[in-house]
Amino acid sequence: MMARVSHPKKSHAWGKMYCPYNDETCRCGEFCIASVWSTPKNPGSHAKALRRVVDNCARNKRQH
């Protein structure tokens, strides 16, 4: 009998967070899109990373 190959650890995003401004100049044209993971390894650092995306939005900085 053949040994089973271990299943690769694949993960996928629960959702995506899109910038409402959709500004081409923001984040080198990446339009402020961030993946939201349902079960991140470290929830605190994942939350900080999402917050960084919002805080570093060029258009958001101009408005405040």
- The gap from C-alpha 55 to its chain's centroid, in whole angstroms, comes to 13
pTM over 0.75: no
Half-sphere exposure of 21 toward its Cβ, with a 13 Å CA cutoff?
A: 17
Q: What is the pLDDT of residues 2-47, one digit of tens each?
A: 677 776 666 788 999 888 777 777 665 566 788 998 888 899 999 9
What percent of the chain lies above the pLDDT cut of 90?
16
Given this model, what pLDDT does residue 31 score? Answer: 61
Residues with Cβ within 8 Å of residue 24, at least 6 apart in sequence: 31
- Distances in whole angstroms, Cα of residue 26 to Cα of each of 35, 45, 51: 17, 23, 16
- Measured in residues, the chain has a length of 64
